[in-house]
């Protein structure tokens, strides 16, 4: 007999969620299929306050989801309780896959598909924000795609109302690669924090890369706060500059410089897409009206991508054969699509304050050493780097900067000056002086006569 939760009978295992297992289940009376999110905790609570906060969060998720009915948000149908504590959530079952699963197969996504998902995401967020709800964990794993390609936002487990009465602690909540700078710095978040996370998701869909990726958690968090990624159009030329500017504005470090709301971002994205489509339509019209018999299937290149165009003079039979082939291919693709296992890309992390303090101390120590280098105090900088590396020997950045500081120190040393005394060259003797010397050494004629008389 299958496992039963309230009125729901489990049919199959879908995956592991943030608080327990997720099953495909069916309501025993009305037959509705749901995604059953059960509570199976694998950790122990530190104290009663920790336990109370956890169940308050579950209750908050239930209340928030119950308040929302939107085509781009996963619907909550039912909540189960045990001893007045939430034991399961029965939500809409999306017969498709997560965006995470899709990105694992295809990077980047086709431009139209990526923009369609982004549009659905912004619509869902605009609705949630209008209800005073901030998601706080927008990422590919929490975006589900139906078989028709519609995107739905899921998992409001770490969502928070704008004016929450729950105690706010200085802890890091979210998924590192998709956090906003406000979340990393544990400062108050607003709906614009969700817009930053949306920008990260859009960037990944359009370029195939995460804009703030790094090998270590500390590197990711540093990049989120400090790194300005290249424009999406520079990474993927198929992305138009106008769409790239929309993404760049979503990724602004300061919330004030992002879009004022998800609705405003959606309007700008729609305008950017309409501009692109208008260009494509005009180009297609020119191509179709051009009677070029040597090109039966002309290809028009607009500012976004290559759009294959079918000429008007294609025979009717060929047209229907092509159409039937496309329909059959699409049907086969939908039939073969695997159901998503809703796994987190990375577990949602809650980093203790002690670790945040450690990261801040490391950053201050490196910045102090760099300041010494910039001020020309190379010897002191080397000592600072040595102290840092003694504590964190695996730091590649510190080792490289220490090597550079050593090089600058060696170059700054005064070089000993060696004075070379050039030897004075022997004075040159002229031919006349040499001849005069020879004359002085040669005996005169009278001296030779006297020597002859003396018998010498």
- Residue 155 to residues 18, 32, 78, 271: CA-CA distances in angstroms? 9, 20, 15, 30
Here the tokens at position 234 are: 């520079």
Using alpha carbons, select from 278, 327, 267, 328 the residue that is nearest to residue 303: 278
Here the tokens at position 75 are: 């619907």
Here the tokens at position 397 are: 């950045």
Q: What is the dihedral of CA 270, 275, 278, 280, to 10 degrees?
A: -110
Cis-peptide into 108, omega within 30 deg: yes
Q: Which residue in 137, 194, 291, 386 is the catalytic one?
A: 137
DSSP string of 107-135, one letter each residue: SSPPHHHHHHHHHHHHHHHHHHHHTTEE-
The CA-to-CA distance between both ends of the chain, in Å, stands at 150
Give the integer Cα–Cα distance in Å for 365 and 351.
Answer: 21
CA atoms within 13 A on the CB side of 280: 16
Phi, psi dihedrals of residue 306, rounded to the nearest 5°:
-85, 125
Here the tokens at position 280 are: 């494509």
Cβ neighbours of residue 101 closer than 8 Å, sequence gap 6 or more: 340, 341
* Look-up of token digits 């590649």: 396
Here the tokens at position 244 are: 């790239």
Cβ neighbours of residue 190 closer than 8 Å, sequence gap 6 or more: 134, 162, 182, 255
Contact by Cβ (8 Å): 56, 37: no
Cα dihedral 68, 72, 74, 78 sign: positive
DSSP state of 268: H
- Residue 149 to residues 69, 119, 240, 363: CA-CA distances in angstroms? 19, 12, 22, 43
SS3 state at 81: strand
Q: Would residue 7 be called left, alpha or beta, if left means φ above 0 and alpha means ψ between -120 and 50 degrees?
A: alpha
Q: Which residues pair with 133 in a beta bridge?
A: 161
Here the tokens at position 266 are: 């959606």
Phi, psi dihedrals of residue 413, rounded to the nearest 5°:
-65, 140
137 carries an active-site annotation:
yes
Q: Give the catalytic positions in this structure.
A: 137
């Amino acid at each position: 007999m299958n496992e039963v939760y309230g009125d729901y009978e489990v049919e199959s295992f879908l995956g592991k969620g943030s608080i327990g297992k997720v099953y495909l289940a069916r309501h025993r009376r009305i037959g509705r299929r749901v995604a059953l999110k059960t509570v199976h905790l694998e950790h122990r609570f530190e104290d009663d306050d920790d336990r109370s906060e956890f169940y308050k969060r579950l209750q908050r998720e239930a209340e928030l989801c119950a308040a929302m009915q939107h085509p781009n948000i996963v619907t909550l149908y039912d909540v189960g309780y045990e001893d007045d504590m939430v034991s399961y959530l029965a939500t809409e079952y999306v017969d498709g896959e997560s965006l995470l699963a899709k990105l694992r197969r295809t990077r980047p996504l086709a431009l139209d598909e990526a923009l369609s998902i982004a549009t659905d995401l912004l619509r869902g967020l605009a609705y949630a924000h209008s209800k005073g709800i901030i998601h706080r964990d927008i990422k590919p794993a929490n975006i589900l795609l139906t078989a028709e390609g519609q995107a739905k936002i899921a998992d409001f487990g770490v969502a928070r109302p704008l004016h929450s009465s729950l105690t706010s602690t200085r802890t890091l909540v979210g998924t590192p690669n998709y956090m906003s700078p406000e979340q990393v710095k544990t400062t108050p978040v607003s709906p614009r924090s969700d817009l930053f996370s949306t920008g990260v998701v859009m960037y990944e869909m359009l370029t195939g890369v995460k804009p703030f990726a790094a090998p270590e958690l500390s590197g990711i968090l540093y990049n989120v706060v400090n790194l300005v990624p290249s424009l999406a159009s520079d990474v993927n030329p198929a992305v138009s500059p106008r769409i790239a500017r929309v993404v760049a504005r979503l990724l602004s470090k300061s919330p004030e410089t992002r879009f004022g709301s998800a609705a405003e971002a959606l309007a700008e994205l729609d305008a950017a897409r309409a501009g692109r489509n208008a260009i494509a339509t005009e180009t297609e019209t020119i191509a179709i009206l051009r009677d070029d018999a040597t090109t039966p299937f002309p290809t028009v290149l607009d500012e976004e991508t290559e759009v294959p165009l079918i000429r008007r003079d294609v025979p009717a039979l060929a047209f229907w054969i092509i159409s039937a082939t496309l329909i059959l291919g699409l049907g086969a693709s939908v039939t073969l699509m695997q159901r998503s296992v809703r796994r987190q890309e990375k577990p949602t992390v809650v980093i203790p304050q002690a670790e945040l303090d450690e990261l801040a101390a490391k950053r201050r120590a490196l910045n102090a050493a760099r300041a010494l280098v910039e001020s020309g105090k190379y010897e002191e900088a080397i000592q600072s780097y040595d102290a840092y590396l003694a504590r964190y020997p695996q730091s590649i950045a510190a080792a490289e900067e220490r090597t550079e500081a050593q090089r600058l120190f060696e170059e700054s040393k005064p070089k000993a000056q060696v004075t070379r005394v050039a030897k004075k060259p022997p004075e040159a003797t002229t031919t006349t002086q040499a001849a005069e010397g020879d004359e002085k050494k040669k005996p005169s004629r009278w001296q030779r006569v006297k020597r002859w008389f003396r018998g010498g």
